[in-house]
Amino acid sequence: MTVGGELVHGTCVALGRRGALLRGSPGSGKSDLALRFMALPSEGVLLPSLVADDQVFVEANADGALMASPPASIAGKIEVRGLGIVEVPFLAGAQLVLVCDLVDAQDVPRMPPEHAERTVIAGISLPALRLAPFEPSAPLKLKMALFLAAPEQAR
């Protein structure tokens, strides 16, 4: 049973079935970070995957979980700067457990705030963090953040 949904500008990646929504202005590094995240090795059955690039459909289910999926017209497609739109394997849906706002490195706090940042999507509150997408460690930070943010039922 669907409670509500919305189309969000951003890119969604997943580790297994746990998803993170990457938000930022055009050219901020969403697709680039997604591509590097997808290249990380799997953790057992937890494979780093693309869910959707550029637009993500997010809907809250009756249990209060947010599910992310690609619009049919762009499923399995990612923009690779210099190469164009490229088809890649993708995950048809993931439980959204985290939002990453992509910012300049100087805008990422060294330590997390005392009260974790949150954002609301499709009526559901999610943890949010700021991440510098072009740092070499950004894909690993994203992977670690997914582990830390994921509720037990999404693991």
- pLDDT, tens only, 89-133: 999 999 999 999 999 999 998 887 777 789 999 888 899 999 999
**DSSP conformation class of 17:** T
Q: Are 46 and 124 in contact (CB under 8 A)?
A: no
Cα separations in angstroms, 150 against 72, 75, 83, 87, 125 = 26, 24, 33, 28, 13
Residue ranges of domains in the chain: 2-148
Q: Cα–Cα distance between 143 and 79 in angstroms, integer? A: 21
pTM for the full predicted model: 0.90
Q: What is the pLDDT of residue 12?
A: 98
Helix (H, G, I), strand (E, B) or coil at 14: strand
Span 14-40, average pLDDT: 95
**Domain covering 2-148 in this structure, CATH number:** 3.40.50.300
Region 12-28 average pLDDT: 94
Average pLDDT over residues 126-150: 92
